[in-house]
Structure 1
Amino acid sequence: MNTPEHSQLGKASAYIDQYDASLLFPLPRETKRLEIGIQGRLPFLGADLWTAFELSWLNLRGKPQVALAHITVPCESTHIVESKSFKLYLNSFNNSRFASADAVRNRLREDLSAAIWHGGSVLASAGIQLLLPEQFGREAVRELEGLSIDRLDVECELYQPAPQLLSAALHEQPVEETLVSHLLKSNCLVTGQPDWGSVQIHYSGPQIDQAGLLQYIVSFRNHNEFHEQCVERIYMDIMTRCKPAKLSVYARYTRRGGLDINPWRTSHPQLPPPNLRTARQ
């Protein structure tokens, strides 16, 4: 079984500029999900929304082409793709010739779909959208909508996930609200390098104590875990401690190595949020 320690994270890596799908390094989701009490059927829906800002290849005449890529990885997949391996894989397109952007898109979809199911049946393909240069001007910058809880003047002392900070008014009338914080920070599971993000929490149910929620988000500051795993931990802790009737957790992390990863988990069927970058991305 692949483990993070066996990946290219934190290691010197050769620059391979000829297409090579074997560079993708899948990691099982199950290991970390078991830590937070997820076994069998998933208690949420959702996806991981990736943006690749450094995608290039050659056309059949050897002329470089560039594009942005929006990638959607269903949360039901058995594996994630370690992000450095994804970057190395994308680099392998740099001096490889493809007949068209559609050929590149199809190759990305086929390779990533195989990786996220890692040898099993592909039950849901990765979604791939390529944006060519003439479409770049349409890419918007937009902040997460909701009431900022960063306005609260709270004392923060815990810097490892502390779900005991979460509480809700379980015996009062339910509410529906969207809360946002830009103070999410965690660290890479392997290298310990910082990952910066913003998080949006939409829920209906007992009103969540906002000060406790902010302290809880801050408590991830020294925690080592991948983006997808942090968001699932946040989702499960809020669901367990605050007992909302409906819950969605969406985080947008700043890019590293030309990639950003934006996990979204929800308790109920709905369209995924638009993959629009924030100012920090």
Structure 2
Amino acid sequence: LYLNSFNNTAFASADAVRDRIRTDVSAAIWHGGSLQSSAGVRLLLPEQLEREKVQELAGLSIDRLDVECTRYQPAPELLTAAFDEKPVDEILVSHLLKSNCLVTGQPDWGSVQISYSGPQIDQAGLLQYIVSFRNHNEFHEQCVERIYMDVLARCKPTKLAVYARYTRRGGLDINPWRTSHPQSPPANVRTARQ
């Protein structure tokens, strides 16, 4: 909706478009907050599309599991971990994340990568939890924050990062990332679904 508000608007350059989006998004993010910063905005021009790499998220896919999913609102109680076993370092991936836009009700499909150190997370329960977002109405960023907080509270990892790459709607990539510790941001590559 925001991008569509620029229909029939003339900009002097791609830099002017990027600056306008950065200003508007930064104002929306920090509105009323004490911390002020600027959002990062990267425009991909049509002549650059063919140079974009397609790459899948690193990690073990939990989509291979044969589990029955019957919950379609976020159910953090599905998350469990092996607290009495040796801790692990693991990266788990699912392409079955789906929620609905809070404003339009349109479906939002995404892939999610969960990197953690700590008690081993039960993969079947994690997959059921991810699928439980199916009928949930929330923005991408809120979904990633909810997943992060639920995994942190229920599974108690010592390190945790949650990264999602959503399919585009309106030509806009929204790929939220939340981490418990300083690290470089994930590589900004397209998945085949995007």
TM-score normalized with structure 1 length = 0.64
Whole-Å Cα distance in 2 between the matches of residues 167 and 111 of structure 1? 40
1:114 Cα shift? 2.3
The answer to whether the aligner puts 1:154 opposite 2:154 as a matched pair is: no
Amino acid at match of 1:241: R
Q: TM-score, normalised by structure 2?
A: 0.91
Which structure would you say has the larger Rg?
A: 1
**One-letter code aligned to 1:246:** K
- Determine helix, strand or coil for the equivalent of 1:184: strand
Partner of 1:237: 150
CA–CA distance in structure 2, aligned partners of residues 263 and 175 of structure 1: 24
1:96 — aligned with what?
Answer: 10
Per-residue Cα deviation, 1:62-120 (whole angstroms, up to 9, x for no partner): xxxxxxxxxxxxxxxxxxxxxx2x2224x34x54141x333333333233322322366
1-structure distance, mates of 2:60, 2:92: 5
Structure 1: how far apart are the matches of 2:112 and 2:189?
Answer: 14
Residue 113, structure 1, aligned to residue 26, structure 2: yes
Cα distance in 1, alignment partners of residues 105 and 9 from structure 2: 32
Deviations 1:172-208 (A, max 9, x none): 1110010000111111223322111111000000000
User: Which whole-Å CA distance do the structure 1 matches of 2:23 and 2:104 have between them?
Assistant: 29
8 Å Cα contact 2:79/2:122 also seen in 1 = yes
Output the CA distance in 2 between the equivalents of 1:278 and 1:112. 25
Between the two proteins, the alignment pairs up a number of residues equal to 194
Task: Quote the Cα distance in structure 2 between the aligned partners of 1:271 and 1:243.
Answer: 22
Residue aligning to 2:165: 252
Question: What is the one-letter code of the residue matched to 2:134?
Answer: R
Structure 2: which 5+ residue stretches go unaligned? none
Residues 276 and 206 of structure 1, relative CA distance in 2, 3 Å threshold? same
Matched, 1:272 2:158: no
Confirm or deny that 1:167 pairs with 2:63: no
RMSD of Structure 2 on Structure 1 (CA): 1.8
Of 104, 107, 122 in structure 2, the residue corresponding to residue 191 of structure 1 is 104
Q: Residues 119, 155 of structure 1: CA spacing in aligned structure 2 closer, same or farther, 3 A cutoff?
A: closer
Q: Residue 36 of structure 2 aligns to a residue in which SS?
A: coil
Q: Which of the numbers 130, 134, 139 marks the counterpart of 1:217? A: 130
Find 1:138's aligned residue among 51, 66, 70. 51
Q: Which residue of 1 aligns with 2:38?
A: 125
Take 1:263 and 1:97, find their aligned partners in 2: how far apart are those partners? Answer: 28
Amino acid at match of 1:262: N
Structure 1: where are the runs of 5+ without partners?
A: 1-83
1:126 is paired with a residue of what secondary structure? coil
Q: In the alignment, residue 181 of structure 2 is paired with which amino acid? A: H
Task: Report if aligned partners of 2:18, 2:43 keep a CA contact under 8 Å in 1.
Answer: yes
Contact 2:56 2:191 in 1 (8 A): yes
